[in-house]
Structure 1
């Protein structure tokens, strides 16, 4: 059985005391994938120190050289797509096809970012003074903390980690403790790609244990967060109070508007895909349909016809179109929303 570990200063760290977590396959709760101890403030402090010490050397490395490391990570991720996809499905529950699609998108993000490392130029500016040359150049922000959710445990971290590294920042990556194995697999790929010790650190822990510390510590100059509106608002407020940069991607209630002259079949396809793809566990999932009454019955009937043909089950099984919800807690949340909607 795999152990949930943290990655600090280029070393995989095991903990022996603290709050224990178990990682189980959401499609088969009897399958225990991993166990471990969540990171605490002590590990968070060690990660911040490691990232701070690694920053000068990493920032001095030419941007194209940093991009080469990101490109190697992209190539490794694509070469190991099948292995990582199976791990993602076993840990998060989405279908294997969805998992492979997510990993391919992450590969594209890494590949694009590697190329951008050669385009981070500044600007030249005409000066009002004679014999003066005015220009700007881009400098790394510093130590940044990246806080990511469980629903896209490869792609979202990839599109946060890769730009941060290419720009010369050092990173503390805090994934959801629901999907620590996929996070570790991505960090291992960056490790094998040549990221120096301390440049990329992984903390698997709760928001109350380490999330608050990362947002409040003055050495952390930026936070990129994807998650709930409640947590994102708190992070934004905390960062603003100390003048740190923050980037918060939060949830929403995404509507589809269907007018009476719409292609109803096309609308039904779009709504079903948007609402039920990834088991509906996306911040961009269709959560509302605003439909003109004259086409409502036809639209609903077409949606019911499509959904009734879907096969539900283990995401690793061929032909399955919808995997399980990620956890019992998430199932309870969905059931509560169903009751609200009745």
Structure 2
């Protein structure tokens, strides 16, 4: 894998009839998706559900996602914590290879991912494809960067000293993704955390759980071990504070509103009982 990064080319639906026809077939073939929780690789159904509907046709259901409770959020954080020692010791090159495979799988499922974005959040064809292409870019770029950062890094020479710089995984990361780029930003925040040796509890936007579940499926198919990535669709009001406040949470990656971001900063700044670090 070359270290020269190149952006994934966009599909030209105006000029490329084959791409246009393939995208139409993917939209026509789309069927509602049931999205369970994923905790330690196990699919978990719940009585409570999040119904994801097409914003252009509100009566058209795109999918139904399980809705995590506080107890299930607690279990997911502890599962990610237990998976961290093994995953953090996985060679950086092996972690990067999983991202490269995920990027290839996204390319193979590109029209399906586009169709999900078109139907779940109302994106135009071009905007949906750009979202998917950016998710591919994130996986490729972060994989390449991990390989670069894992190599010997240049240091200022000091007479009589031998030094080495290396990067150390942190622990459990909570990823809270937005609705407006629910494939690209979700995949990017997740991929960056995973490839650097951290484990993840991922809460997708309640407005876009289906595309989040499809991204999780791709990471699993790419070879991610069980427990390293845990998927928790739910409302922020139900489990958000628990995930941020948890003493085993090491860092939070968030994209969203100013008010929620400030609340996360406020809560993450407080050192909880049993917490051994300052959260990032």
Q: Is the 8 A contact 2:80 2:230 kept in 1?
A: yes
Match of 1:143 among 163, 172, 194: 172
Aligned to 2:139: 110
Aligned to 1:5: 36
Aligned to 1:152: 181
Q: Is the 8 A contact 1:215 1:238 kept in 2?
A: yes
Q: CA deviation at 1:123?
A: 5.1
Match of 2:110 among 64, 81, 86: 81
Task: Classify the secondary structure of the residue corresponding to 2:147.
Answer: coil
Q: CA deviation at 1:90?
A: 0.5
Q: CA deviation at 1:6?
A: 1.0
Q: Is the 8 A contact 1:78 1:107 kept in 2?
A: yes
TM-score when normalising by structure 2: 0.82
Aligned to 2:195: 166
Structure 1 residues 241 and 55: alpha-carbon distance in aligned structure 2, compared to 1, 3 A threshold: same
Q: CA deviation at 1:34?
A: 2.3
Q: Using the alignment, how far apart are the partners of 2:136 and 2:148 within structure 1?
A: 19
Matches within 5 A, 1:1-342: 1-16=32-47, 18=48, 20-121=49-150, 122=153, 124=155, 126-127=157-158, 130=160, 132-242=161-271, 244-246=278-280
Task: Classify the secondary structure of the residue corresponding to 2:79.
Answer: helix
Aligned to 1:267: none
Q: Using the alignment, how far apart are the partners of 1:69 and 1:95 within structure 2?
A: 30
Task: Classify the secondary structure of the residue corresponding to 1:117.
Answer: helix
Q: Using the alignment, how far apart are the partners of 1:149 and 1:160 within structure 2?
A: 11
Gaps of 5+ in 2: 1-31, 272-276
Q: Is the 8 A contact 2:50 2:234 kept in 1?
A: no
Q: Using the alignment, how far apart are the partners of 1:123 and 1:168 within structure 2?
A: 22
Task: Classify the secondary structure of the residue corresponding to 2:167.
Answer: coil
TM-score when normalising by structure 1: 0.68
Task: Classify the secondary structure of the residue corresponding to 2:175.
Answer: strand
- CA distances 1:161-204 after superposition (whole Å, capped 9, x unpaired): 11111110001111111100000000000010000001111100
Q: Using the alignment, how far apart are the partners of 2:77 and 2:257 within structure 1?
A: 24
4+ residue runs over 6 A deviation: none
Q: Using the alignment, how far apart are the partners of 2:66 and 2:134 within structure 1?
A: 31
Aligned to 1:321: none
Q: How many residues align?
A: 242
Q: CA RMSD in A?
A: 1.6
Q: Using the alignment, how far apart are the partners of 1:159 and 1:24 within structure 2?
A: 24
Q: Using the alignment, how far apart are the partners of 1:151 and 1:236 within structure 2?
A: 22
Aligned to 1:255: none
Aligned to 2:17: none
Higher RCO (C-alpha 8 Å, min separation 6): 2
Q: Using the alignment, how far apart are the partners of 2:203 and 2:238 within structure 1?
A: 11
Gaps of 5+ in 1: 247-342
Q: Using the alignment, how far apart are the partners of 1:103 and 1:37 within structure 2?
A: 24
